[in-house]
Structure 1
Amino acid sequence: MAIPDHDIPRAPRPVNPLPWSVVLLFLAIAAVEIVLSLGARGIIGGPGSVGWRLEAIRSYGFVSAVLHWMMEQGVWPLEQVMRFVTYPFVHGAFTSAAFACVMLLALGKWVGEVAGAWSVLITFFLSSVLGALVYGLVTNDAYPLIGAFPGIYGLIGVFTWLLWVRLKASGDNEFRAFTLIGVLMGIQLVFGLLFGAANTWVADITGAVAGFLAAPLLVPGGWSAFLRRMRRD
């Protein structure tokens, strides 16, 4: 007698599937980096492909001077405004893109399972946009802002908020929730001192703050849970 499919026990999956938004962001970052890396090595695109990365940075990176110009002139051309959402997908080197992908997969999976796939996407772009905006307003760097890290720091902000609420509810020291951000910023400071300081930390910190503040609205039941925690104090 045939056994119905629904009665057949299924082996547990060794790895839980990633949220679709994390896969989408990962593929976008990886695809751009693969093309730029292959072009830099002359494997695709011919001799002109060696300059693809610089051209991508010039065309899609976020530039503080462009923001100041748009604000002064009161005009917002689409090809310039789009830099707010295109710069996270261009990196300065393969190692930077690879590190961003690893962090995205780890944090995106965790946040996506708790808050949902759409929350990952919203957090990533909200943090990227606000990170670029604050970076453009407070710095005058000539070199464009590039890389996915402001958006990834936004996911760290959501992770920090969730951990903060959990520690607060259990009576533990809630400031432990900020350890990850502190460690990462410390590493970034060391690299800045060793290889030359950069103001990209402004965008990263802004992204983290944006993710932390947006978390109660993005996590299902997050706002009500936050209010309950605060009322108990």
Structure 2
Amino acid sequence: MTHPHNESPVNPLPPVVVALALVIFGVELVFTLGARGLAGGPAAIGWRSDWMERFAFSDRVFEWMRETGTWPLEHLIRFVSYPFLHWNFTQMLFAVVILLAMGKIVAEVMGAVRMLALFFLGSIGGALVFALVLNDPTPLVGAFPGDYALIGGFTYLLWLRLGAAGSNQVRAFSMIGVLMGLQLVFGLLFGANNYWVAELAGFCTGFMLSILLIPGGFTRLLSRMRSR
């Protein structure tokens, strides 16, 4: 029996969330050290640009695959490799903070495998919408579409909880509303990019997939629809 005084006041993070965050952090750390000449020698200065060229999601590469009907693995991998690349340390840090917060909640409810599925399928969904809706030559990088998929999962969990309590379920979407609003403000102040399209698509992907991934989630949805 565990003595209550020996119990941790904070629930530990699920190992899968920590591992994913460490990989993202580690990749950026290597790039940062290389750019400052602290690792890898003179060639390390170009590590970030080299990996961007090989592993960032590119709309131009995607359009080439569509037009030629060829889907080589070296380019398909971009759908799941771009979340590990960031333009700078600050961007990565914000992405990891959201991953740790949302990943913990989602993994504890859905489990580690479903959390990873939500993150990567949300990243894939975000990249697809980014490519299909826009014609943007800027490479898509960053863990934010996957993070937003986790926010979508969290939103669905909250939506179910509010519904069970008889509360207004629209409140579940307050977080995504605030985040999109903040993005608009930062875009006006510091210059906007089109990444919000991928992030919003990631959120929608995560929300919809959660209906299937949450144990009993689809059954609850059907019962609520029938009750109305």
TM-score when normalising by structure 1? 0.93
4+ residue segments displaced more than 4 Å: none
- For the pair 1:216 / 2:215, whether they are aligned, the reply is no
Partner of residue 51, structure 1: 46
Counterpart Cα distance in 1 of 2:160 and 2:9: 29
Task: Give matches, 1:92-103, under 5 Å.
Answer: 92-103=87-98
Counterpart Cα distance in 1 of 2:15 and 2:219: 27
Counterpart Cα distance in 2 of 1:69 and 1:122: 27
Where 1:154 maps in the other structure, the secondary structure is helix
Bigger shift: residues 23-32 or 64-73: 23-32
Partner of residue 79, structure 1: 74
Q: 183, 186, 196: which one pairs with 1:188?
A: 183
Where in structure 2 are there 5+ consecutive unaligned residues?
A: none
* Counterpart residue type for residue 103 of structure 1: I
- For the pair 1:177 / 2:169, whether they are aligned, the reply is no
Q: CA deviation at 1:21?
A: 2.0
Q: CA deviation at 1:171?
A: 1.8
Where 2:10 maps in the other structure, the secondary structure is coil
Once the two structures are superposed, what CA deviation does each residue of 1:44-81 show, in whole Å capped at 9, x if it has no partner? 01122122212221211100011110000000111111
Q: 130, 153, 162: which one pairs with 1:167?
A: 162
Q: 137, 144, 148: which one pairs with 1:142?
A: 137
Counterpart Cα distance in 1 of 2:2 and 2:48: 52
Q: CA deviation at 1:18?
A: 1.8
Give yes or no for contact 1:41–1:50 (8 Å, CA) kept in 2.
yes
Bigger shift: residues 80-89 or 12-21: 12-21
Alignment root-mean-square deviation, CA: 1.3
Bigger shift: residues 136-145 or 83-92: 136-145
Name the count of aligned residue pairs.
Answer: 227
Partner of residue 16, structure 2: 21
Where in structure 1 are there 5+ consecutive unaligned residues?
A: 1-6
Q: CA deviation at 1:139?
A: 1.2
Where 2:193 maps in the other structure, the secondary structure is coil
